[in-house]
Structure 1
Amino acid sequence: MRILAVADTESEYIWDHFDASRFEGVDLIISCGDIKSQYLSFLTTMIKAPLFYVHGNHDTGYATNPPEGCDSIEDRLVEYKGLRIVGLGGSIKYNDHPYHSVPPWQYTEKQMARRIRRLERKIWIKKGFDILVTHAPAYGISDDKDLCHTGFQCFVPFLDKYRPRLMIHGHMHRKYGKAPRSIVYNDTLVVDAFGYYLLDI
């Protein structure tokens, strides 16, 4: 299966100069957050593939203007063409969000660990999962040292326990061009989806 992963910034190459031939064979689009809803709707329309998304810490606008034609996989396990996909968006809590009428998409470690526990029964029934889609990275694997970009510690035992084939995240902007696109952690390929990236699984 060919996947187009996107996160954090809209590609001018795609949006302003769309070339359908570049995305032939794409079966699924995955957004890891902090992307304009109009851009996601554009992608699923032009590429004609389903689009699954989780929220980034800046996606508060989705509350009133969600991406049309796209499916949120927040706190869900979904199956697509035989792949079991888990979605857990948001970042570590780093400030007090000024707007109380919309979700801030920031979580403490305890809150994120609770979200994982709520998924455990579904994961057990499906005998694991293949792809973990998040906005924030896992602690100590592909995160940074500042509070905003610290990864979730609870993601690490989650990966250790289920060993999915793939984890796709955003939030890091590839540390502004200085970080690798992907690394391998145990049996899991961990991919930073900043901008856009095509991968096969």
Structure 2
Amino acid sequence: MRILVISDEESKYIWDHFEPKKFKDINIIISCGDLKAEYLSFLVSMINAPLFYVHGNHDTKYKSDPPEGCESIEDRIVTYNGIRILGLGGSYRYSPGEYQFSERQMSWRITKLKLRLWLSNGVDILVTHAPAYRIGDGDDLCHRGFECFIEFMNQYNPRYLLHGHQHLNYGRNQRIHHYKKTEIINAFGYHIIEI
């Protein structure tokens, strides 16, 4: 299964110069947030694959103008072709904002999902906007990662944690990290993974 992961910056390569043959083998598109709704709608209409998304800290327009043909997986586990995917969007709280959370609030979101996580026997992919604490996050409060994502990986061992928020052009140029059994991928721009 090939997954196109996207986040934070619309790719001119994809949007302005779309070539269908380069994306014909994509099975799922996953957005880790902070992209224009029109971009997501474009992708789901041009690539024959479902698009699942979480909110980034700047995605407040999605409430009045959600991406058409796409499915929010906020606080939900969805299964596609046997792959279990959980979405937990938003960033660490650094100012007033709807998609910003304290460590405690994000931890509570995970706690409320424990029964569903148990029933589904965990997940294969955790989709977030913010990174995990000290694994590809930033030094400032705005780009700080969540410690509860570390605890999540310790307990559920997802194969992947996909996130955005920390732009690769911020000076942390490493896209892929590993933590125990989990491969952590920064989806900034776009990246393709194969399961």
What range is the shorter-chain TM-score in?
A: over 0.9
The 2-side partners of 1:78 and 1:50 are apart by: 12
Q: Does 1:54 align with 2:48?
A: no
What whole-Å deviation, never above 9, does each CA across 1:52-106 have from its counterpart, x for those lacking one?
Answer: 0000000000010000000000000110000110000000000123xxxxxx200
* Counterpart among 78, 82, 103 of residue 109 in structure 1: 103
Q: Does 1:152 align with 2:142?
A: no
- Pairwise CA distance, 1:132: 0.3
The 2-side partners of 1:199 and 1:34 are apart by: 20
- Pairwise CA distance, 1:182: 0.5
Q: Does 1:122 align with 2:116?
A: yes
- Structure 1 gaps, min length 5: 98-103
TM-score (norm 1): 0.95
Q: Does 1:139 align with 2:133?
A: yes
Q: Does 1:66 align with 2:54?
A: no
TM-score (norm 2): 0.98
The 2-side partners of 1:119 and 1:108 are apart by: 17
- The match for 1:172 is 166
- Matched to 1:40, the amino acid is L
The 1-side partners of 2:65 and 2:142 are apart by: 25
- Structure 2 gaps, min length 5: none
Aligned residues: 195
The 2-side partners of 1:35 and 1:195 are apart by: 10
Percent of paired sites with the same residue: 56
Compute the RMSD of aligned alpha carbons. Answer: 0.9
- The match for 2:80 is 80
- The match for 1:100 is none
- Pairwise CA distance, 1:177: 5.3
The 2-side partners of 1:40 and 1:170 are apart by: 15
- The match for 1:26 is 26
